A and B are shown apart, each in its own frame.
Chain A
Amino acid sequence: MKQEKTSLLRNGAVQSLLASLLCIILGLVVGYIALLLINPAGANGAILAIVENFMTYSKSTAQLRYFGSTLVKTAPLLMCSLSVLFAYKVGLFNIGAAGQYVVGTGAALYCALGLKLPWFLCLIAAILAGAALGAISGLLKAYCNVNEVISCIMLNWISLYAVNMLLTLVKEETSPYTFTLSSTNEGAILPSLGLGALFSKNQYVGLAIPLAILTAVLVWVLLEKTKLGYELKATGCNKFAAKYCGMRERKNLILTMAISGGLAGMGAAMLFLSGFEQWQCTQSAVPAMGFNGIAAAFLGGLNPIGAIFSSYFIQHITNGGAYVDKTMYSSQISDFISALIIYLCGFVLFFKTALNAWLNRRDEKKAEKGGGGK
C-alpha cells in the first residue's frame, strides 16, 4: 500500500497537479492577507466573493447566466494559454500571445464592422493575422537570430498602436469604442448553437466555448501523437540535433510561431465576435489576456487538457473580483491574486526537484532500515 503511494507521488502529472494546487492556495492566502491589511472587517466576505464568483447570486437562473459570462471569457483565455504552451513545448517563450491576440482582434473586428463579412471569414482573418505576426517573430529568430521574447515584446506594442489606428475607422463617433456587432453586422456574430438557451438565454454563449475545448484536444493530439509534433518538440530540445537528423529546423521554428500566433488570434475572434465586448481604441496598454494566457499555461502544468481547467479557474477568480465590496476594495484584487499565482508558478520546477529529492531520501532511509532488519 505504501509502495503504491510513493509511486503515485512520483508520477509527473500528479506532481504538476499538486504544484498547481499549491500555487493557487498560496496565491489565495497572500491575497487574503492583502485584503486583511486593507480592511480586516470585510476580508472574509471579499475572498469568498472572489472564489464564489457567480455563485453569489441566489437564483439559479442568474447563476447560470453569469456562469455563461465567465465561460465566454474563458474561451479566449484558453486559446491564449494554448498559444503560449504550444510554443513553450517547442522551446520558445511566446510572450507575444498578447500582440497576436491584439492583431486577431483588429482583423476580426475590421472584417466584421468595416468589410461586413460573415463570422467564419472574420474568424479565419483573425487566425491568419495572428499567425502572420507569430511568423514574423519566427522568421526573425530563424534567419536573424533575434530572441523571440524581445521581438515579441516589440511586436506587442507595434500591434497595439496599429490596431488602435485601424479600428478608429470603425468606432462610434461619441465614444472610444468600436461599433457593436448587433447594430452593424449581425452576420458576424458567432452562432450560438442553442448553447445560449442553456445558460438562461445568455446570448453571448455560443460556438466559441466548444471550439476552444476542441482546439485544446487537437493541440494535445498534434503535440503528442503526430510526427509533426514530435519534430517540433525535437527542434525545441536541440535544434542542431534536429538539423542533423534531417529536420528543417528553420521551417519548424517559423511554423511553431505561426501556429502559436494563429491560436492567440483565434482566441481574440472568439471573444470579440461573440459581441460580449467592444474594443476601446484609446487603449494605452496591451490587453492582459495574452499575459494571463502565460499564467494559465503554466498553472495547467503546460498540458493542453490541464490548460482547460486552469484557464477556467483564472477567469473564474478574475470575474469574481467584480463582486467584492467596492466600498472597501477594488476589483483589481483578483488581478493581484492571478499575478501572484503566475509568480508562484515560477517555483514549480524547484518544488518538483525538492519533492523528488525528498522521495529519494525517504526511499534510501527505508532501504537502509530494511537492510538493517535483515
Chain B
Amino acid sequence: MILLLQYTLIFASVLLLVALGGCFSEHSGVINIGLEGIMVMGALGGALMMKFLPDSTPAFGVILLVVLAAIALGVVYSLLLAVAAINFKADQTLVGTAMNLLGTAAATVFVKAMNTAESVDNVSSTIQYINAKKAFLVNLGGFEFNWFMLLAALALVGSYVSLYKTRFGLRLMACGEHPQAADSVGINVYRMRYAGVLISGMLGGLGGIVYITAGVSEWKFENGVAGFGFLALAVMIFGQWKPTRIALAALLFGFCRALGNVYSGFDFLKALNLPAATYNMLPYIISLVVLAFTSKKSRAPKAEGVPYDKGQR
C-alpha cells in the first residue's frame, strides 16, 4: 500500500512538472509536442551530473547541481522549438515530432560514445547513478520521500501564482488567446512566446530527471522516456490547461501508472489477472473518452499552434 502511494506520488510529480511545462508553452501560443524529447535531454543532463559528481558532495549540493543541470539542458534544447516556431513560423507539430526523435537519438549517440570512450567493450547506452541517487531520498518509516515531490508541489504553486496573479502570467495567456490584441497594447508577443517555451523546457527537463530517478538507479537512453512526455500532454489536456486541475489529473494518471508497477501486490487485482499493459493503457483510454465528451467546449488557448505574424490582421 505504501509502495503504491510512493509510486503514485513520484509518477504524479513527473507528470505534473512536465504538464505544467506544456501548459506554459501552450498558454503562450506554441504547441509543444516535443516534451518527450525535452524530458530525455533533461534526464541526460541530470544523469551526467550525477555520474561525474564526486561521492563526497553533500546531499544538498547534489540535488541543487543535478536539478540545475537538468533544467539547463532542457532549456537549451527547447530553444530549438522556440527558434523554429517563433522566428521561422515552422509547423509546430512537425518540429515537435522531430525534437522527440532527435532527443532520443542524440542522447543515445552521446551516451554510447561516452561509454565506448571509457572502455571499448561497453557499447550500451546506460548511465548508472546508484550512489548519487540516494541524495534525493529520505526514508520516513517505510515511505521513501523524494525531494522531487516537494519540488513538484512548489512548481504547482509557482505556476498557479505566476499564471493568474502576476502581470507576466496574464500577458503570457493573452498571447495564446489573441496575440494581435496583445501586441496592440504593447506586449511583445515574440518575447512572451519565448518565455513560454523556455519555461516548458525548464519544467520538462526537470521532469525528465525525476522520471529516470523514480524507482531505478540506472537508465538506458535508447528507450527515451517511454512515452511519459506524451502522457504528460494528456494530463495537460485532461486538466484543461489549468494548473490545479492538471495536478488532479497528474495524480489520477500517476495512480494508473503506479498500479501497473505494483498491482501484483494486491490480491483482488491479481485475481483479475490482467496484464500490466492494461494499466499502462488506462490513462490514455480515460483521457480519450474524456476528451470526446469535453472537447466541444474545450478551454484550449485559441491561438495555439498558429505562428504569430505581425503583418497579419
Partners in one complex: yes
Query: In the complex the two chains form, is A335's CB within 8 Å of B101's CB?
Result: yes
Q: How far is the CA of A333 from the CA of B104 in the complex (A)?
A: 11
Contact with B along A141-166 (1 / 0, CB 8 A): 00011110111011111100110110
Specify which chain B residues have a CB less than 8 angstroms from the CB of A183 in the assembled complex: none
Specify which chain A residues have a CB less than 8 angstroms from the CB of B288 in the assembled complex: 140, 146, 151, 154-155, 158
Q: How far is the CA of A351 from the CA of B24 in the complex (A)?
A: 29
Query: In the complex the two chains form, is A286's CB within 8 Å of B227's CB?
Result: yes
Known: A34-B109, A164-B277, A332-B108. A349 touches B90 (CB 8 A): yes
- Across the two chains, which residue of chain B brings its CB closest to A292? B101
Residue A340 interfacial (CB < 8 Å): yes
Specify which chain B residues have a CB less than 8 angstroms from the CB of A327 in the assembled complex: 116, 120
Query: In the complex the two chains form, is A330's CB within 8 Å of B93's CB?
Result: no
Contact with A along B61-102 (1 / 0, CB 8 A): 000000000000000000010001000111101110111111
Q: How far is the CA of A342 from the CA of B99 in the complex (A)?
A: 9
**A169: shortest Cβ distance to chain B, in Å?**
11
Sorting the interface of chain B by its residue count into under 10, 10 to 19, 20 to 34 or 35 or more gives 35 or more
Specify which chain A residues have a CB less than 8 angstroms from the CB of B125 in the assembled complex: 330
Q: How far is the CA of A323 from the CA of B258 in the complex (A)?
A: 41
Interface class of chain A by DSSP: helix
Q: How far is the CA of A335 from the CA of B107 in the complex (A)?
A: 11
Looking at the complex, which one of A149, A158, A284, A335 makes contact with B105 (CB distance below 8 Å)? A335
Query: In the complex the two chains form, is B222's CB within 8 Å of A332's CB?
Result: yes
Specify which chain B residues have a CB less than 8 angstroms from the CB of A332 in the assembled complex: 105, 108-109, 112, 222
Query: In the complex the two chains form, is A343's CB within 8 Å of B84's CB?
Result: yes
Residue A132 interfacial (CB < 8 Å): no
Query: In the complex the two chains form, is A158's CB within 8 Å of B284's CB?
Result: yes
**B111: shortest Cβ distance to chain A, in Å?**
9
**B260: shortest Cβ distance to chain A, in Å?**
10
Query: In the complex the two chains form, is A329's CB within 8 Å of B113's CB?
Result: yes
Residue A198 interfacial (CB < 8 Å): no
Looking at the complex, which one of A38, A144, A162, A330 makes contact with B281 (CB distance below 8 Å)? A162
Query: In the complex the two chains form, is A157's CB within 8 Å of B298's CB?
Result: no
Query: In the complex the two chains form, is A154's CB within 8 Å of B90's CB?
Result: no
Looking at the complex, which one of A153, A164, A298, A340 makes contact with B94 (CB distance below 8 Å)? A298
Query: In the complex the two chains form, is B291's CB within 8 Å of A291's CB?
Result: no
Query: In the complex the two chains form, is A284's CB within 8 Å of B102's CB?
Result: no
**A24: shortest Cβ distance to chain B, in Å?**
14
Residue B106 interfacial (CB < 8 Å): yes
Contact with A along B229-249 (1 / 0, CB 8 A): 011011001000000000000
Specify which chain B residues have a CB less than 8 angstroms from the CB of A242 in the assembled complex: none
Q: How far is the CA of A145 from the CA of B300 in the complex (A)?
A: 12
- Which of B93, B109, B277, B285 has most chain A Cβ within 10 Å? B109
Query: In the complex the two chains form, is B234's CB within 8 Å of A154's CB?
Result: yes
Query: In the complex the two chains form, is B84's CB within 8 Å of A144's CB?
Result: no
Known: A144-B293, A157-B227, A327-B120. A343 touches B99 (CB 8 A): yes
Query: In the complex the two chains form, is B97's CB within 8 Å of A95's CB?
Result: yes
Residue A339 interfacial (CB < 8 Å): yes
Looking at the complex, which one of A150, A157, A284, A339 makes contact with B101 (CB distance below 8 Å)? A339
Query: In the complex the two chains form, is B98's CB within 8 Å of A346's CB?
Result: yes
Specify which chain A residues have a CB less than 8 angstroms from the CB of B84 in the assembled complex: 343, 346-347
Residue A326 interfacial (CB < 8 Å): yes
Specify which chain B residues have a CB less than 8 angstroms from the CB of A346 in the assembled complex: 84, 88, 90-91, 94-95, 98
Query: In the complex the two chains form, is A329's CB within 8 Å of B101's CB?
Result: no
Instruction: Show 7 residue pairs from A and B whose CB-CB distance is below 8 angstroms, ordered by the A residue.
Output: A140-B292, A157-B281, A165-B278, A284-B227, A342-B97, A346-B88, A349-B90
